[in-house]
Chain A
């Protein structure tokens, strides 16, 4: 069987690699899958999942343009972008549900681009969950194991474990339509995870849940990932979700990956306007380079980073702007408050010139009041465009 082949391929490669991080998922799946020698020390490959120059177009529409990406084993990776940015296409190419026009997908160093979906050790949680309506929860979860003719006793054991993992014990005999949306989502999750895939793909899994449940599920998902240590790839358009759960994020737009990095990197150091605006709110200031600073409508601003352009844009997050009673020493700007929005834990100020500032100071602000702001140079991001 191909899955065995992948396994064996993996283990051989594993020995040759010298890596100190152990990939738990591969570890467990090999133990349970086949009679691979238990004494063999299996170390994670450095390769993980690599996507090399993958392109895909649908007729005239270019869904994916020459995209390359490296995802490390055990990583929680998120493809983030607006709808139609190509994130779902990329996910479907990884799953084998779409064929790339050019480029290759390597899983643990093995080219899987030409492998059909049922021979890839990759499982998907679909946006619609795509549970089999005619099968019970148990049979839904057991489906992947039965397809591969796993032994009955092992199926029983693994399905029960998988259901316990997502808190669905006692629901095994229900039909999907007798369950709530949140429960269905967990069935979909355990149906994929029971196969111990090398990569778990999650296609907007929270989009059908209400906001409160969503935050809860995000935390549970992150915890689950930490426990299993498998590679998770999440596709979402929700930047908060991406920031909460991911180890790394790739921001996509118009079929291209625009920036990738840890949530902190991407949030704090966006490289372009799109990323700055897509991930939370950003104040954009356009200006002209003047020596080591930038000449803007607010006057000359000092920045820490090097400026790659003559004319361009700076960005600063609303919560990174500090408020002063007197003129600050660097990058001070006087602004008038147009509106005060109370948000509970903090306060958002709408200022003239379209500026937004968020603060948790307990000072009272009044409409029309003039305040001093400062843009800390280390917080001013120099965008590339």
Chain B
């Protein structure tokens, strides 16, 4: 069984094709020199050039980045603190269970429920203040909410794997609380924090559902733009935009993988 049966190889490679064929077609048609139809008309980068002259798309890209960067910053800080607070203090079993449940809620519950809950809650809050109108602000709040949990889970697993010995060794070697934190805990935790942050960032870039429910007319992000566009009909510009988004994802993922791998040893 250790050597692959030909059928196993066939299914595995077939599945890879199945996963990538749609994405590869998008990339191919993003450089096809025709606006209509799926017949090959020669190579062009025209659609990419047009992309960068499209104000709406640039605006959407800017919104996406603002949303991802600001929510990731907040979520990374809060999530890291949360993970540290959960792992490094002697809480009772009851408290731990409670924390665990709250932390896993955003992971287990389908995102559409969180989206619905936020719509209703912000809808009611709108009576209090207009900052709760659909738009980038409540989108950021929404993204932070699901990001916190993921960051906390990633950082906590790093904390658990660090164990107690190393911390105790630092104290045994005369380190003060501050010196210990700066010289041992933080540097060792950093890969976990960065991995958590990158996860949060990617989740935000990826998110469609929460954004779709909480966005306003001035806060269209790239996924929302693509969604609206493809419902009207696919165009080579959309293919070009999608290809760029996928490429950005690949770069992020490969970078994050490298990072976590090189720090595991």
Contact = CB atoms under 8 A, between A and B. Distances in A.
Interface in A110-136: 116-119, 122-124, 126-128, 130-134
B179 A130 contact: no
How many chain B residues sit at the interface, stated as a range, is 10 to 19
Given A97-B171, A127-B165, A130-B169, 13 more contacts: A96-B171, A117-B172, A123-B172, A130-B166, A131-B169, A132-B169, A132-B170, A133-B265, A134-B187, A143-B170, A143-B173, A192-B172, A195-B173
Contacts of A177: 265
B173 A95 contact: no
Interface in B108-165: 163, 165
Contacts of B169: 124, 126, 130-132
A147 B179 contact: yes
Contacts of B188: 132-134
A124 B172 contact: yes
Contacts of B172: 95-97, 117-118, 122-124, 192
Interface residues of A, number: 28
A212 B163 CA distance: 29
A126 B187 contact: no
* Dominant SS among interface residues on chain B: helix
A177 B263 CA distance: 11
- Most chain A CB within 10 A, of B163, B168, B170, B173, is at B173
B86 interface: no
A329 to B, nearest CB: 59
Interface string B229-254: 00000000000000000000000000
A250 to B, nearest CB: 22
Contact of A118 (B165, B166, B171, B184): B171
Nearest to A122: B172
A191 B173 contact: yes
B174 interface: yes
B168 A195 contact: no
A181 interface: no
Interface of A: 3, 95-97, 116-119, 122-124, 126-128, 130-134, 143-144, 146-148, 177, 191-192, 195
A118 B168 contact: no
A191 B170 CA distance: 11
Interface string B162-202: 01011011111111100100011001100000000000000
B165 A147 contact: no
A122 B188 CA distance: 25
A97 B168 contact: yes
8 contacts: A3-B174, A97-B172, A124-B172, A128-B163, A132-B169, A143-B173, A144-B174, A147-B179
Contacts of A127: 165
B181 to A, nearest CB: 12
B187 A128 contact: no
5 closest residue pairs by CB, A with B: A144-B173, A130-B165, A130-B169, A147-B174, A117-B171
Contacts of B176: 118, 147
Contacts of B175: 118, 143, 147
B174 A195 contact: yes
Contacts of B170: 132, 143, 147
Contacts of B183: 143, 146
B174 A148 contact: yes
Contacts of B168: 97, 117, 124, 126, 130
